[in-house]
Amino acid sequence: MVPREIRVRARGKVNLGLGILGKRPDGYHEVESVAVLVGLADEVAVHPVPYGIEVLCSGVPGPPEENLAFKAGRAALQCFRAPFGLRISISKGIPVGGGMGGASADAAAVLKAAWMLLGEPAPRETLTEIARLLGADVPMFLLEDVTKEGRVSAFLLRGRGDEVRPVRSRDVPEIYFVLVLMNFPVSTAWAYARWDEMFQHPADRRTTDFADPRIPLIIDALKTGDARLLGPSVFNDLEEAVATDFPVIREVKQVLCQAGALGAVMTGSGSTVIGIVTDPAHGLRVCREFRRIWAEERGHSLKKSSSLPGRPGIKELVLVGRSQVLGRCTLS
């Protein structure tokens, strides 16, 4: 019997390291990155309907057919020759254009749901192939980051970001982040084009070892579970390119560190900035101190910075672990 509905909690990701190895002849960028899933999530509900695909998703600009979840539903139905259609409802918790992979997470959720509704009609590799066609970030979101045995993964991403290898460890303990959500999106295509203007060089593609020496430092730090080692190792090669047009990103990083975060970095192509903290209590102290410095020392009017249209500012601080949101602090 076909289930009536499948609900998936689609968590976002943060990149702890993002190295750009160069531009490839095919126009894509060769990257090496470490990413982890975090507790800020979209809720995706998928119902079988007699025919067609309907997407209900507020907060995402453009027609439903442009939603990556719609494209994922269409691809899955075609590939698996489904005898029914899908109604997809998405409640966004992941910021749109925030560098947290929300569109890709939703697409992966729809692929998984369609696959389950159809009674797992193909090997998982087929899903990965469809995912890769939808977008470079989608394959990562098909993987579970905690195994039944309690092994926890970070993901090592290579190629366009679509070659995913779980970095598993029994010892990776919980990690905590303060996410600074901004009131503006950044287009990934624009960020890479900006990087091209500023730094472009051809890709130096290696197939063994780490091409970017900063990446193994992050993996080692994750395995020790020591936020004091992780904090100083985080990096993102896109950050300077994006911060040239959005200097507020630089300022948010500085204030996060001043507020006591052990390290801070922009995730993906922005606009979200993350601060590394040791535990929830530390995270709450960083949030409070951030708010104070932002208003009192930096002289930003919190109301104005978050609500004036066209003026880049901060929307919200969110304290997360890998699976849950632990606290929120609005700035206005």
Residues that bind ligand ATP (CB under 6 A): 57, 60-62, 67-69, 90, 96-104, 106, 137, 188, 268-269
Of 150 and 310, which CB lies nearer to ligand ATP in the complex structure?
Answer: 310
- 265 forms beta bridges with 274
**Three-state SS string across 228-263, please?**
HHHHHHCEECCHHHHHHHCCHHHHHHHHHHHCCCCC
246: its two tokens: 């959005």
137 noted as active-site residue: yes
Nearest distance, CB of residue 97 and ligand ATP, angstroms: 5
Nearer to ligand ATP, 100 or 256 (CB): 100
CB-wise, 269 or 278, nearer to ligand ATP?
269
Largest CA distance in the chain: 62
The strand ranges marked E within the chain are 6-23, 29-49, 53-57, 85-91, 152-158, 163-169, 176-182, 235-236, 264-266, 273-277, 314-320, 325-330
Please tell me the distance from the alpha carbon of residue 236 to that of residue 239, in angstroms, as a whole number.
6
Q: C-beta of 21: minimal distance to ligand ATP in Å? A: 17
- Supply the minimum distance, in Å, between the C-beta of residue 104 and ligand ATP: 5
* Of residues 39 and 102, the one with the C-beta less far from ligand ATP: 102
Give the active site residue among 23, 42, 106, 137.
Answer: 137
CB of 95 to ligand ATP, least distance (A): 7
Backbone φ and ψ of 96, nearest 5°: -80, 130
Distance CA 79, CA 326 (A): 39
253 has catalytic annotation: no
Active site residues: 13, 137
